[in-house]
Amino acid sequence: MIDNTQSLQFFNRGPSPVARLVFFSVLSLLLLFVDARYRYLESTRSALSVLISPIQRLSTMPNSLWQKAGDFFITQNRQHELIKQNDELQLQHQRDAAQLLQLQSLEKENQHLRSLDALPIRNQLKTQVAEIIYAERDVFRRKVLVNKGADTDVKLGEVVMDDVGIVGQITRVYPWLSEVTLITEKDQAVPVQVLRNGLRTIVFGAGDTSQLSLRYMPASADVQNGDVLVTSGIDGTYPPGIPVAKVIKIEHDSAYPFLNVTCLPIAGVDNHRHLLILSSFSKLPSRPDEKTRADNSGNRVKFRKSN
């Protein structure tokens, strides 16, 4: 029979837990003191940190991956928001640019209307402001349609101008519209005179909005580059003194007796939407026909013979 006392001694496990706690506490304090005082465990700690580093990285990898995944989705969300904001800003910029252009156009149009209203000729003649609403589709014809017609008492032959000079003439009247033939229409004639010396001549359209010409000018005519041509008032069609064109080039071919004079229209025939119609000015007596002039000439001859 086995003795119980021997059995208990056989399973004896050493020092008590309290003794172990005291021992290891004292050992820890001693090691801390030695390491702090003499740095004996520095190399040991470095070696242990190298061995433990892979374990530390492996243990922190899930948290790092989770953080990177969160940063990725946050970055993608922010990038999407930035792209959306950028698109909205670009759209707003385009709207603002369009509004700015519209405001600039309205400001320019307002300035032009003010210039038309301030023309001295408005105090001398009956005038009315018209707006261009249609342009001739044929590129070889220089005509426009304005929003004034027979309902506003527009008449054939009335003069149309802008704030600086002659633009054209009313050539057809509709109930609510009128057709304006520009002075640059091919073979459209305007009686003018050179402002510098009063030389009278006729300027013709060349079918080009940027060009007029003086025809049948003698080689000895006193015309110079830079001369300003104004309406002469001859024939009673155009009021006198309104600017028409400026001489920009004079050519002379010895084989021809006439000068080739090129002029630039002073008025903006293609620049403005609003024009001024000169609705009333003094009319000249009607020109006598050829038969009447011939009869009057014969009567004068007979009267002289009888005397």
Region 277-304: mean pLDDT is 62
The vertex-84 CA angle with 81 and 90, nearest 5°, equals 140
Domains of the chain: 123-280 (2.40.10.340)
**Other Cβ atoms closer than 10 A to 252:** 13
The answer to whether 203 and 195 are in contact (CB under 8 A) is no
pLDDT per residue over 55-90, tens digit each?
877 777 787 778 877 787 788 888 888 888 888 888
**Other Cβ atoms closer than 10 A to 253:** 10
Token digits of residue 257: 């007796």
pLDDT per residue over 140-152, tens digit each?
778 899 999 999 9
pLDDT per residue over 232-246, tens digit each?
888 778 888 889 999
Q: Is the pLDDT of residue 92 over 50?
A: yes
What letter would DSSP give residue 302?
Answer: H
- Tell me what percent of the residues of the chain surpass a pLDDT of 90: 23
- Residue 61 in 3-state DSSP? helix
The answer to whether 168 and 182 are in contact (CB under 8 A) is yes
Token digits of residue 306: 């009888």
Closest CA to 244 of 167, 143, 142, 130: 167
The answer to whether 273 and 260 are in contact (CB under 8 A) is no
pLDDT per residue over 165-200, tens digit each?
899 999 999 999 999 999 999 889 999 999 999 899
The vertex-207 CA angle with 110 and 192, nearest 5°, equals 75
